[in-house]
Amino acid sequence: MTIAVLFISFFVLMLIGVPIAISLGASALFTMIVATDLPLGSIVQQAFTSLDSFSLLAIPLFILAGVLMSQGGVSKRLLCLADVLVGYLTGGLAIGTVLASMFFAAISGSGPATVAAIGSFMIPSMDKKGYDKPFAAAVTATAGSIGVILPPSIPFIMFGIVGGVSIGGLFLAGIIPGILVGLALMFVSYRTAKKRNFPTEGKFPTFMEVLKAINYAKWALLIPVIILGGIYSGFFSPTESAAVACMYALFIGLFVYKELTFKKLYSVFLEATLLNIPVIIIISFSISFAYLLSIERIPATIAQFITGISENMIITMLLVSAFLFVVGMFIDTISAVVILTPILLPVAVAVGIDPIHFGVIMVCNLAVGYVTPPLGVNLFVASHISKVSIERISRALVPFIIAMLVVIVIIIMIPQLSTFIPNLAK
């Protein structure tokens, strides 16, 4: 009865338009009142103490780093580099959008931040050059989803905290899958551009032009090197790397690129605060929701049910992936990771899946949710920038979503794509 009350109340609240954070907290509180004997104070205590985590501090810091980089001229330089490298290809602007999003994703760790930073430049540029506007919005939205797969990824941080898995290992595990997703999106962009005769501009770059573009973006390109290099050389933890990223972004924005001013910092910190507030509230109430699940032994019950269907690793992961794909349509990624990791991680371990590999599978599936209605955050950001309706963008998204799902199946079938680099670093 408890699980029915919990999930029915949660989905009813969501359907009537209650924000997801409030839906999580209210449904957990309602369930405790009508279906359990637990003291009400325990859920408040869980919500409060869940935020007392050193590892969790990485999330607001990476969000701040992303805003500092976006406002400090980093995204502009990454776009210039991407344009030089792939701008001469058929659909070069679209392919460049994907490549620039991959560069920025390796800095910010956030999907919506990537869409906002890259889309504000590239969607108007593609529209001006004759690209179909819904297509421009679609490629930008899907490219932004790479932001939660490539390190440093905020969902990987949450998975590591909740599942007790190495965050650094998850960061490394996301590199190859993130690149594969990017290549798949580039392929779809190329095929679509060729089919629709989108304009091709530019010429094959000379070696000196490439060197000049790399030199122009060199300070930005050093950021992921510093983050991952610092973690795996033992100089700092993932949380400390987020603080280093903030200081580095602040330094290059103020003193190297000089596109940040001390006066402008107020708006930067305000924007970062406004982005952080809903994330922190969602995390707090999600952990309360997950606490109630664990108290009622719901994860063990669901794990037993899933393994009862099949103990084959691939079949089980395909079933779990289908479930996560649907969940991603209705629940934001951070909430889904916090709630479902305690449920699904034991299932993965029971059928022989490496926890790090499962973390990649989970986040990749939920990344698709960033671009699927009705809750696709990237979709709404791209729609706002492009002034194109969600319905029109959704139709243009179909081939990109199919490409992402194909990559997920490949990742499931070949675990080494996720585990090779972490094993190499041991």
The 10s digit of each residue's pLDDT in 98-108 is: 988 888 877 77
C-alpha dist (Å) from residue 32 to 10, 109, 225, 368: 13, 35, 47, 32
**85 has pLDDT over 90:** no
Q: Which residues contact 245 (CB under 8 A, 6 or more apart)?
A: 61, 62, 65, 107, 152, 223, 226, 227
The pLDDT score that the predictor gives to residue 350 is 84
**What's the pTM value of the predicted model, to 2 decimals?**
0.84
Give the pLDDT score at 202.
67
Distance separating alpha carbons of residues 21 and 276, to the nearest angstrom? 13
Angle at 131 between CA 127 and CA 133, to 5 degrees: 60
Condensed to tens digits (0 to 9), the pLDDT of residues 308-318 reads 777 788 888 88
CA–CA gap between residue 194 and residue 287 (Å, rounded):
47
CB–CB of 408/361 below 8 Å? yes
Residue 77: pLDDT band by 50, 70, 90 thresholds?
Answer: confident
Residue 250: partners with Cβ closer than 8 Å, 6 or more residues away: 68, 72, 260
Per-residue model confidence (pLDDT) at position 174: 92
pLDDT at residue 36 is higher than 70: yes
CB 68 within 8 A of CB 253: yes
Please state, as a whole number, how many other Cβ atoms lie within 10 Å of the Cβ of residue 410: 13
Which pLDDT value is given to residue 188? 93
Q: Answer whether residue 173 shows pLDDT above 90.
A: yes
pLDDT of residue 91 exceeding 70: yes
The pLDDT assigned to 414 comes to 93
Banded model confidence at residue 10, pLDDT cuts 50, 70, 90: confident
C-alpha dihedral, 80 to 70 to 239 to 274, nearest 10°:
-160
Grade residue 147 by pLDDT with cuts at 50, 70 and 90: confident
Cα 169 to chain centroid distance, Å, stands at 17
pLDDT at site 109:
66
Q: Are 133 and 386 in contact (CB under 8 A)?
A: yes
User: Is-contact 43 288, C-beta < 8 A?
Assistant: yes
Percent of all residues in the chain with a pLDDT value above 90, rounded to a whole number: 17
Query: Phi and psi for 389 in degrees, rounded to 5?
Result: -65, 155
For residue 325, the model assigns a pLDDT of 87
Given a cut of 80, whether residue 95 has pLDDT beyond it is yes
Cβ atoms of residues 124 and 79 within 8 Å: no
- In whole angstroms, give the CA distance from residue 104 to residue 144: 9
Indicate if the pLDDT at residue 51 is higher than 70: yes
Whether 289 and 43 have beta carbons less than 8 Å apart is answered as no
Q: In the prediction, which pLDDT does 358 show?
A: 95
